[in-house]
Amino acid sequence: MHLRISTKRQGDNVYKYAQIVESYRREDGVPAHKVIASLGQLSDQEITNLRVALQASRQDIALVMPGQPAQHEWPARITASLSYLDVAVALETWNRWKLPRLFNRLLPQKNEAVPLGTIIAALALHRCTDPGSKLFAQRWYPTTALPELLDLDANQFGNTRIHRTLDALDRIGDTLQAELVHRYHSKEGRFATIFMDVTDAWFAGRGPDMAERDRTKEGFKNKHKIGIVLVCNEHGYPLRWKVVPGKRRDNICMEDMLDQIQDAGWMGEAPLVCDRAMGRAKSVARLLDSGVRFLTATTRPEIDSYTQAIPFEPFLELHPVGSSATLAAEMGIASKTAEAAGLTKLDDLHYILDLGICQRTLSFERPKHQHTGAAWDPDQLEGGASFIALARIFADRLKKNQYRNKSDLADKEGMTRARVTQIMNTIKIAPLLQEQVLSGEFGYVPERLLRQCVKLNTEAEQRKLLEDNAQVMRPAQLEGRPPRRVGRQTVDLRLVAYFNPRMFVEHRGYLYERRQRIEQYVRDLNEKLANSDFPHDKNKIRLKVHNQITRWKLISVFEVTVTNRTNPDIGKKQMQVRLELNHDEWVRRLRYTGFVLLVGHPELPHTAEELVNLYREKDTVEKDFRTIKSAVKLRPLFHHTDGKVRAHVTLCMLALLLERTIEKRLRNSELARTAASCFEQLRTCRLNLISSPDQIVPTYAATEPTQDQLAILRNLRMTGLIEPEEISESIKFRRS
């Protein structure tokens, strides 16, 4: 039992009412309070006396009321100083998303002494406030106020229980992701924008089976790593995430994720924004075929395949250095050139060219339908689909020798021989088209249409007949997107180009620097060869120059020739290297420097300026990755099984949700700051355990908050966390 105080303010007066309440867990596992007695209005002294009496009764200690004040005072001692306000804010954010109730439902307590959801909460809060290994978490936990706030004793937060919790968290990963998206929807409505990207994380040691040795995105070589695909909304809330093998290409990872989310109801009409990894023609075709409204940027080598309208010629005359001393002046020249070329200024770093709707021919892959055989029930299908299902059943029975021949089949099924032939002829339709008819992709297909289809010789002719029928027969509400495309088709795409002067100056300057380094290397090499008296192998010299050019990634720009000519001054032969610039290739490298071509779904309703800003907002998902790598410390990883790694990533995503929620609340106020800096500011407000020789029961008291801490709490609407009454109600005395 404990004392609960309700405070009522009326004008300048404050009234306090007391109740004796008892904590218990409901049948669904959610903590609740039961009122034992209502004591009415009490003074501060009466409240203090009751608290001391209740605490003494718990410890079976007798109270003696002194007849007169003590003649001397004993100094109070702080026996523990615990991290409080940072973990309390994170825990309050956790509770506001109603995550305890969610985990109690997904992970029933059963034989566990401690709810696994409580362990998950502690681990997620650890990643928010002071991230480290799971071993470090066990040392960190007792130094915080979480044992009091979670009613979870430190000795219950052990290694075995933590790893058992990680296994359970991995099992519910997919369900948890779906539940979180539902909570976002119910609390904040439909998403405005959805972002998708891929990052990686490396291991200390070999890692699990999924970890593969490769170069990381940070540039570390020869690390065992995994990939992580993340889908988030405009607030940075994680919607979907998946751990993938380390060497898997980004576009393949995102295409697989697209397969999972393209039909999700929460996608709605929100545009899906991806980076250049999804900008190649194959990936654009996949995005277009998904029916999702997308926006991506194509790679520079593919710009010509979309449009020839980008005015790159005026920029070929510019030769920026790109150094810090010349950067501002060269950016100014590039900006003036962009405006003169007809680009519209959005801001100092973005000049826009709206290319409207353009057409391009793309290759669409065949959908991967597995042959379903005779598994379809003809009675559950309509029209021609039921005939295909029946034909497969007949063919299966003939194959199993249940009928001698088609005549025997007709007799036993009560049909004419001609009718059986009509039905079984539908198997002559291409297998892929059969599957699509059975699954309803062509809408209602009448039997007569299948008879016409059988007479056609090629799959392309059969498909055209079915698609033409689908335009008439398919109800508009049956699917939200048209039938899947197959083969090479010309499609409409929304194109917007923009020019970034800073990117132009830096990249163009770097290109010239690489070219100059190669030319200087060859000059130095020729000088060494001229001064050498030793014979040299022509092939080795060519290989040395080739490797140097490859290092600077200009192998297609230069032609290398090694000659053995006679020096007339000394009268002997010398090896010399001659570089020949491939001018067309060099111009090809230069022409689109500083340009980005955005490729989007033709039905995107945004203006060119809005599309550029939308693409720039993909920094949202990149910030999420930076957060989980830096503030939440996703890597290095120390786990050695795939399941534990997936659970670890899920914990990082839960921590990311808490941080993004805090940042969104602060961003809507006058106090815009990161969650990491917020936790750092709150860390100095601690919960102190105070005891003295004449004090029967130790008491808890929070450090007086600073003005900055109060400002954070006011903007988060969590000022109750530093109210003594609420602190006393929310904490439980730790048992060890």
Q: Which helix (H) or strand (E) holds 18?
A: strand 13-25
* Mean pLDDT calculated for residue range 146-174: 91
Kindly report, residue by residue over 441-458, the tens digit of the pLDDT. Answer: 888 888 888 989 999 988
pLDDT surpassing 60 at residue 477: no
If 0-12 CB within 10 Å is exposed, 13-18 middle and 19+ buried, where does residue 567 land? exposed
pLDDT surpassing 60 at residue 265: yes
pLDDT at 103: 94
pLDDT at 614: 93
pLDDT at 631: 53
pLDDT surpassing 70 at residue 466: yes
Report how far apart the first and last C-alpha atoms of the chain are (Å, whole number).
19
More confident residue, 256 or 11: 256
pLDDT at 29: 66
Helix/strand/coil for 649:
helix
Confidence bin at 610 (pLDDT 50/70/90): very high
Scan for tokens 């959610």, then name that residue: 30
pLDDT surpassing 60 at residue 24: yes
pLDDT surpassing 80 at residue 657: yes
Closest CA to 618 of 307, 279, 249, 356: 279
Taking domain 373-465, whether its CATH number is 1.10.10 is answered by yes
Scan for tokens 């520079």, then name that residue: 300
Scan for tokens 């277009």, then name that residue: 288
* DSSP for 713-733, written as a single string: HHHHT-GGGG-HHHHHHH---
pLDDT at 711: 92
Kindly report, residue by residue over 199-241, the tens digit of the pLDDT. Answer: 888 877 677 778 888 888 877 888 888 889 999 999 999 999 9
pLDDT surpassing 60 at residue 475: no
Distance CA 578, CA 558 (A): 10
Distance CA 357, CA 493 (A): 6
pLDDT at 55: 77
Q: Which residues contact 232 (CB under 8 A, 6 or more apart)?
A: 194, 195, 238, 239, 620, 621, 624
* Mean pLDDT calculated for residue range 580-584: 93
Kindly report, residue by residue over 287-319, the tens digit of the pLDDT. Answer: 998 889 999 999 999 999 999 999 999 999 999
Distance CA 196, CA 655 (A): 19
Distance CA 121, CA 111 (A): 19
Is the distance from CB of 595 to CB of 309 less than 8 angstroms? no
Q: What are phi and psi of 157, to 5 degrees?
A: -105, 70
Write the CA distances from 173 to 127, 167, 256, integer angstroms. 18, 10, 17
Q: Which helix (H) or strand (E) holds 526?
A: helix 501-530
pLDDT at 285: 92
Kindly report, residue by residue over 72-119, the tens digit of the pLDDT. Answer: 455 667 888 899 999 999 999 999 999 999 999 999 877 778 899 999
Whole-model pTM: value is 0.73
Lowest mean pLDDT among 30-44, 265-279, 323-337: 30-44
More confident residue, 188 or 123: 123
Distance CA 218, CA 418 (A): 69
* Mean pLDDT calculated for residue range 603-617: 94
* Beta strands, E only, 550-637: 558-567, 572-581, 595-600
Confidence bin at 638 (pLDDT 50/70/90): low
pLDDT surpassing 80 at residue 734: no
Q: What is the largest CA-CA distance in the chain?
A: 121
pLDDT at 499: 97
Question: Which pair of structure tokens corresponds to residue 222?
Answer: 């020869």
Q: Which helix (H) or strand (E) holds 303?
A: helix 303-306
pLDDT surpassing 70 at residue 628: no
Kindly report, residue by residue over 541-563, the tens digit of the pLDDT. Answer: 999 999 999 999 999 999 999 98
If 0-12 CB within 10 Å is exposed, 13-18 middle and 19+ buried, where does residue 139 land? exposed
Taking the domains of the chain in order of start, what are their residue ranges?
A: 1-72, 74-171+673-736, 373-465, 501-591
Helix/strand/coil for 557:
coil
Average pLDDT of the residues of the chain: 86
pLDDT at 476: 34
Distance CA 634, CA 653 (A): 10
Write the CA distances from 587 to 511, 512, 519, 560, 581, integer angstroms. 11, 12, 17, 19, 11
- The pairs formed by 3-7 with CB atoms below 8 angstroms and a separation of 24 or more are 3/47, 3/50, 3/51, 3/54, 3/728, 4/33, 4/729, 5/47, 5/725, 5/728, 5/729, 7/725
pLDDT surpassing 80 at residue 353: yes
Q: Which residues contact 385 (CB under 8 A, 6 or more apart)?
A: 376, 437, 438, 440, 445
Q: Which residues contact 704 (CB under 8 A, 6 or more apart)?
A: none
Write the CA distances from 190 to 94, 265, 271, 296, integer angstroms. 21, 10, 12, 22
